[in-house]
Amino acid sequence: MDAIQHLNELIRFDSVSSKSNVPITDHVERFLKQRGFEVERLEYDDKLGVRKASVVAKLGPGTGGMAYFGHTDVVPASPWFTDQHGPFEPTIKDGKLYGRGSCDMKGSVACALAAVERIRAEDLKRPVYITCTADEEVGYGGAQSVAKRSVLFREMIAGDAKGIIGEPTHLEVVYAHKGTFGFLATSIGKASHSSTKEGLNANLAMIPFLVEMKALHDEVEADPAWRHPEFDPPTICWNIGINDHTHAFNITAPQSVCSVYYRPMPGQNPQLLLDRARQAAERCGLKFEFRSGAMPLYMDPKSEFIQELVQLADRPRATTVSYGTDGAMLTELKKMAVLGPGSIKQAHTWDEWIELDQLERGTALYEKLIRRWCGD
């Protein structure tokens, strides 16, 4: 099958991160086994008790070679832009394939599967690895499981395999991406009718904390230590959210929650900001909860690996992106780049699509990399 056919099959699985991805993982595992891959399956229950699965597969002798990484979960698909077809009903129109996950990143997985179909096992001198993870969209849970538990991932590290994260880059070579850190600060009050003095407004303790978070925002926007000229935007994007859970003006807020999400860049210490926020929460009498943390990915753009990849991809140079990937959890693999079909501009949109040309070119490029790194 070609990538379009593979993608049609993959999109039909409703693998939104809140649901189990076991059915789509079964599908990928079955295909890889049919192609002769050795397959390692890793399962776990997420925080809500939902069963999740990742697969790590190997074809070919020895160690080294190429390691492809993709994820099978997708973001929610409501609302969807048309009632003529649903988000899990792949539809081709005007040179584009529409469907949730078409761009992020089942299109890339489809290209990888189509590429290995073009490779004969007997032509391989080194292995090609295919990894498909769960929960990339909600904290990299599948990649964490691979990093901690996978025997084949240990083999990739020992053999110095060349890693490709297949997230959508429009087939540009990406040598670095930002990290992701997030936390919550919560103020607890007591609900009552606002005409009485029986309640305790949770926002009152939250207000001074918000002042400190705004001051941190202004600091990291202006301080050169928290900027990086190789990224666009060159800042950590200190994003503040607030919710007091009230639905009427005449209720005293029983709870107030501030969320902060930021994106550290290579060479920065995100823990410094986390510690300052925690101290501010303590001063204001708030509960502080660290929610997620993933470090940036960075490869020297002048390294032999990146330069070779730029040449193979026929690009003038490598670049950076501001989003995060599973690569944040897989940094023990010392050669890693992000390279995949589709544009991040279409990811998570209400009419998500990928160009058919990107699927064709992505398949050809992945095949080229496999032949170069695993067959020559």
CATH code for the domain in which residue 49 is found:
3.40.630.10
pTM attached to this predicted model: 0.94
Last residue of a domain, one of 266, 294, 322: 294
pLDDT digits (tens, 9 = 90+) for 197-247: 899 999 999 999 999 999 999 999 999 999 999 999 999 999 999 999 888
Q: Are residues 243 and 325 in the same domain?
A: no
Q: How many domains does the chain have?
A: 2
Structural domain ending residue among the three candidates 260, 279, 294? 294
In this structure, are 99 and 244 located in the same domain?
no
Instruction: Examine the domain organization and report whether 83 and 169 are in the same domain.
Output: yes
Q: Does residue 145 carry a pLDDT above 80?
A: yes
User: Tens digit of pLDDT for each residue in 166-181?
Assistant: 999 999 999 999 999 9
CB 238 within 8 A of CB 260: yes
Q: pLDDT tens digits, residue range 268-284? A: 999 999 999 999 999 99
Confidence of residue 376 (pLDDT cuts 50, 70, 90): confident
User: Is the distance from CB of 253 to CB of 245 less than 8 angstroms?
Assistant: yes
- What gap in Å lies between CA 124 and CA 231, rounded to an integer? 37
State which residues form the domain around 284: 180-294
303 and 205 share a domain? Answer: no
Tokens of 83: 């009632």
CATH of the domain at 203: 3.30.70.360
Under 8 Å between Cβ of 78 and 18: no
What pLDDT, on a 0 to 100 scale, did the predictor assign at position 248? 87
Residues 21 and 121 in one domain: yes
Asked whether residue 79 falls in the same domain as residue 21, the answer is yes
**How far apart, in whole angstroms, are the C-alpha atoms of residue 270 and residue 259?**
16
Q: Are residues 171 and 189 in the same domain?
A: no
Q: Which distant-in-sequence residues (6+ apart) come within 8 Å of 354 by Cβ?
A: 7, 96, 97, 102, 103, 107, 168, 341, 342, 346
Nearest to 337 by CA among 157, 165, 104: 165
Does residue 133 sit in the same domain as residue 51? yes
Q: Residue 247's pLDDT is what? A: 81
Same domain, 30 and 162: yes
Q: Which of 294, 320, 353 is the last residue of a domain?
A: 294
Place of tokens 């593979």: 6
User: Are residues 362 and 282 part of one domain?
Assistant: no
Query: In this model, does residue 335 exceed pLDDT 80?
Result: yes
Mean pLDDT of 172-201: 96
What is the pLDDT of the chain when averaged over all its residues?
97
